[in-house]
Structure 1
């Protein structure tokens, strides 16, 4: 684990740049949603930055922490007035992942901008969106949204197709690293496009190979091949060694009954575009979710495969696996070739 390089003296200016991109202005309200694992240095930097921009800022500290291996929590807490406080914010900063949680949707419906801040300062600095990130991500999202059939292949043997575009399966997610518009949710350090496949359309095989990443529920590099058979939107067969056994056991553990297939559903699928995130960050930082939450999902050219939750599924059996070296085609047009983005308008400069 490398020693920290960002000092406490740098943090307020780092947050001020981020809050400026999130369109924080004088007279707005910024709410910091924290728990007892949140770094006090980071919280104080957020206070200083919001105040410098003329915003009113206050902290809501939760008495409990969330299980970071799981997603989709109903409420951040049960206290009377908590949700009203969060929904009153112009910008809500959550210092733990709110992904796939109903309360996040409730805040966004009120027009609250929501920014997830989960990584440590070194990563926050390195992954702060370079110039042109928003434009490249929105372009990639438009290209993806115009496609009906997506095909993912690899030399390892992956050959997966799925259809997309049915509005019943949720919004297209385009993350460029800051929440600058009413009702927008984004995540500091991320550059990614993803959505859910149309129900029942994912078919083929997915080969997770050594060097691919496992971010949820475990934080590790894959060491042994996992072979998945996907049919009509669900994983039907799992083969392989140690990693395959862990994959199978995690999904089985999250079944609510013997015939519950929800953990085995294909969940959100997408790709990363961030030029300053690298798949080998896991070798630098080790198995640390607080150092790899954004980098592992967002590195340019990865294909993110996941299982479990969806717009109509609340299972806790969620797996996130960013895959390297895949080729991704939109209606037959290659967008990512062997892990390299080939469309020049979707390539972000490192800044």
Structure 2
């Protein structure tokens, strides 16, 4: 196991990343933490911000009791704030919120209110994924990634139809006409922005009834909720957004069925089985094989969402489609071909050169 202690190189990585977020001397920065936060990342953030001259305060909340029917991992929807008005009010008045909660604030219900700001201040929120600092050190954001992600988002916004296929048997049709598009390049420099580290992906949240077809996960694809590389083939039939059949043999298939069934039994509906978002990774510095080298407690798996050329299929909460659930799977897949209105942008797991790069001046 890697040791968690203050290292000079990790302070350097944090300072470089905060500099990309344009954190200035004298800015008020809130550290949002909880009792189960990875303390080394909180300490590295605090020391780095102090060295940069920021004015810091920390809001540390108790990690809430479990309410889910099964373990919850990597949802991006922490429930740590519990709608506490004084906490929201404090965060609204910070120029920057550094999110070191375990699950992250990306889909937390309090985020819209926080980003509205107060007293003339509009915060920006930067989530540090719950990773060991070595992972963060390897994936310090590249400024050049911003234009690539922005171009991919623009492409997604102008797309009516996404088609995903693979040699494994995937044949998936996704209508994007009314989708909401997002993207992350690993830093946020303007008021009202939200980003996370590691970054480098573009996503679309499809409207209800937009996804149909067959999704085949092959050995080597990843179930990030379980932090597990698949050894078995899983065939998913998707009808009107929802997984209606999970076919195949082996423990990977059985575990997926079991986890989904826990949410179905608890919630009385199948929203956990429906699409949350779809997208693709754009970060050449992120590695598909990285999870092999870390204990599960050291790795949140955000890097694997972003590795260049993956197709990311996720199920669970989707506000655009009016679905709310804590049951969530992030499923990065290799070897897929992605077409946007007939144009190939990812070919058998590799980004098509030049599609998302800005033209030379």
TM-score (norm 2): 0.88
Q: Does 1:342 align with 2:325?
A: no
Unpaired segments of 5 or more residues in structure 1? none
Q: How does 1:99-248 map to 2 (within 5 A)?
A: 99-110=106-117, 111-118=122-129, 119-166=131-178, 169=179, 171-216=180-225, 218-241=226-249, 242-248=251-257
Question: Structure 1 residue aligned with 2:318, among 302, 310, 316?
Answer: 310
Pairing 1:236-275 to 2, within 5 Å after superposition:
236-241=244-249, 242-255=251-264, 260-275=269-284
1:263-312 CA distance string (max 9 Å, x none):
22111011001111111112222434x42422110100000111121002
Secondary structure at the residue paired with 1:116?
strand
Q: How many Å apart are 1:99 and its aligned residue?
A: 2.9
- Aligned equivalents of 2:187, 2:72: Cα separation in 1: 22
Tell me the C-alpha RMSD between the 2 structures: 2.3
C-alpha deviation, 1:39, in angstroms: 4.0
CA contact (8 A) 2:281 2:306 kept: yes
* Greater shift in the superposed pair: 39-48 or 88-97: 39-48
**Structure-2 change in CA distance of 1:287 and 1:13 (3 Å):** closer
In 2, Cα distance between the equivalents of 1:237 and 1:43?
A: 42
8 A Cα contact 2:345 2:355, kept in partner: no
One of 268, 281, 284 as aligned partner of 2:290:
281
Extract unaligned runs of 5+ from structure 2: none
Distance 1:41 1:280 in 2: 24
Q: Name which of structure 1's ranges 114-123 and 4-13 shifts more when overlaid on structure 2.
A: 4-13
On the 8 A contact 1:25/1:53 being kept in 2, the answer is yes
Aligned residue for 1:64? 63
1:90 alignment partner in structure 2: 95
**SS state at 2:296 partner:** coil
**How far apart are the structure 2 equivalents of 1:15 and 1:258?**
40
Pairwise CA distance, 1:262? 1.1
Q: Which residue of 2 aligns with 1:297?
A: 305
Query: CA contact under 8 A between 1:28 and 1:90: conserved in structure 2?
Result: yes
Question: Shift of the alpha carbon at 1:75?
Answer: 5.0
Distance 1:43 1:261 in 2: 37
For 2:38 and 2:78, locate their aligned partners in 1 and report how far apart those are by CA, in whole Å: 22
Cα deviation, residue 37, structure 1: 3.3
> How far does residue 255 in structure 1 lie from its aligned partner after superposition?
2.1
User: 1:5/1:74 Cα in 2 relative to 1: closer, same or farther (>3 Å)?
Assistant: closer
TM-score when normalising by structure 1: 0.90
CA distance in 2, matches of 1:230, 1:39: 37
Q: Distance in 1 between matches of 2:106 and 2:217?
A: 24
Could you tell me how far 1:234 is from its partner in structure 2? 1.2
The equivalent of 1:326 in structure 2 is: 336
Which moved further from structure 2: 148-157 or 251-260?
251-260
Aligned pair count? 342
Structure 2 CA distance for partners of 1:246 and 1:40, relative to 1, 3 Å: closer
Q: Match of 1:268, SS? A: strand
- Check conservation: 1:341, 1:347, Cα contact below 8 A: no
User: How far is 1:41 from its partner?
Assistant: 3.7
Deviations 1:117-152 (A, max 9, x none): 122211111111124111111111111221110000
Mapped to 2, the partners of 1:277 and 1:37 lie a distance apart of 26
CA distance in structure 1 between the aligned counterparts of 2:267 and 2:4, rounded to whole angstroms: 49
Distance across 2 between alignment mates of 1:77 and 1:204: 38
